[in-house]
Chains A and B, each alone.
Chain A
Amino acid sequence: MSDTAYQSTAIEASGRPDRASFSVSKGAEVRDFVRLLKPRVMSLVVFSGFAGLFVAPGHLHPILAAVAVLCIAVGAGAAGAINMWFDRDIDAIMVRTRGRPIPRGKVAPDDALAFGTVLSLGSVLIMALAVNYVAAGLLAAAILFYVFIYTMWLKRSTPQNIVIGGAAGAFPPMIGWAAVTGDVSLESIMLFGLIFLWTPPHFWALALYRRGDYADAGVPMLPVVAGVRETKKQMLIYTLLLFPCAVAPYWMGVAGPLYGMAAAVLGGLFVLSAIAVWRDDSDKSAKRMFGYSIFYLFAIFGAMILDRGVGLIG
């Protein structure tokens, strides 16, 4: 039996690999394509999208609601696959991302691009046909913003990349809301604002203890460009801005007191973790804050869902 051997030439011994140097790979497994969809990021997107859908006033048939959440998940995953296609050169350099399917040579770049494009178009099309055009339009905007504005433009050109680019990740609850109501209201914009303000401290916490990685890859993250002290100051500012924004759904009547209390406690702990990062010269508190930021978003949308569920039962 003959052996078929082929090498990924993705990672050169030194320097940044050229995007064209990634070989075609015939050995991709289904799980490699699943990895292209960034399942962990997708879980957060699904959860926040579902929260937006669940707390929105009105009624959507459960099957259509499930399809809407599926479209949000697939659309977000597809954008992630296109992101991996474009960033394959820097992904091969960074320790955090070099195990991804393209740098490992398991999925050919063209396959990843085709996979992401087909899923993007499919998710938007199904959303338009099954749910409504507003939700489909927002989903398309989120995908296009993530791919063209964040990935291709901002990520490599400005330390404010994840501030502006964070808008892409803030769309899901707004899409969920629009799936039910068919419009974009002030309440859904507040849900958008919640993730928008959460994104910078979340990513900068990661960038603080991975700054060497980003510097090697030439990605101008804030800790690399402006320094650790400035980054910690910005993180604290954003967590302070996030606090009232997170409580706002309670004041606006979107959520009840259960959510209001949870938002206040979770927001307070987020501010405290930012203060801990400010005071700590090591990377320990930044790692802890990154972990807490993920918990924060799950918990705050979980509280929103729970609050609404209790309201429906009551």
Chain B
Amino acid sequence: MASESRDTLTMTDEEIRRRQRSRNIAVALSVAALVVIVFVVSIVRIKAGIDASAGR
């Protein structure tokens, strides 16, 4: 278990690994979210382009 004060931080190797794993999961989710955003934005813009060229 970790015990923390303002100036000192002491924790076990297990706790450090747990936190690293949480950070890795957060990074993975962020990358996945970025991929989804780029994909969805691409679809929206392609559709807008098609609509514009069709004169709708």
Contacts and interface: CB of A to CB of B under 8 A. Distances in A.
Contacts of A28: 19, 23
A25 interface: yes
Given A3-B12, A25-B9, A64-B44, 10 more contacts: A3-B13, A4-B11, A5-B8, A8-B7, A28-B23, A29-B23, A61-B48, A63-B40, A63-B44, A130-B37
Interface in B1-39: 2, 6-16, 19-20, 22-23, 26, 34, 37-38
Most A-side CB within 10 Å, residue of B6, B11, B38 = B6
Contact of A29 (B22, B37, B40): B22
B interface residue count range (under 10 / 10 to 19 / 20 to 34 / 35 or more): 20 to 34
B41 interface: yes
18 contacts: A1-B13, A2-B12, A2-B13, A3-B12, A5-B10, A6-B9, A7-B9, A8-B9, A10-B7, A26-B16, A27-B2, A28-B23, A63-B41, A64-B44, A98-B6, A126-B34, A129-B41, A130-B41
A136 to B, nearest CB: 13
Interface of A: 1-8, 10-11, 25-30, 33, 61, 63-64, 67, 70, 98-99, 104-106, 122, 126, 129-130
A88 to B, nearest CB: 14
B46 to A, nearest CB: 12
B11 A7 contact: no
Given A1-B13, A1-B14, A2-B13, A7 B22 contact: no
B41 A64 contact: yes
A94 B8 CA distance: 18
Given A26-B20, A29-B22, A30-B23, A99 B9 contact: no
Nearest to A34: B26
A105 B12 CA distance: 16
A122 B30 CA distance: 12
Contacts of A67: 37, 41
